[in-house]
Structure 1
């Protein structure tokens, strides 16, 4: 199950770094303007997967 936007409950695509605040693209743009400052969830998932893969290879 994916994370949900804290404002509208749609599927979240972005997160505020070091918090548990998740936003969909529309709400992120509306509230932050510059979404490049937010962490992309897919980006974060790829990093976690790489760490897990590395640990399972050991």
Structure 2
């Protein structure tokens, strides 16, 4: 349960900004983490090839 003070501090639905009720595209939210992950994977593959060729 929320304390009575916290209930009064939270905005009502009328005070919140309007929304068109369309969900956020999951791909937009994950774009940067996916790019960073692919860069890390590519770097790992590069170092694997480098070590194989070095020996």
TM (norm. structure 1) is: 0.36
Q: Which has the higher strand share?
A: 1
Structure having the larger proportion of residues in helix: 2
Bigger CA radius of gyration? 2
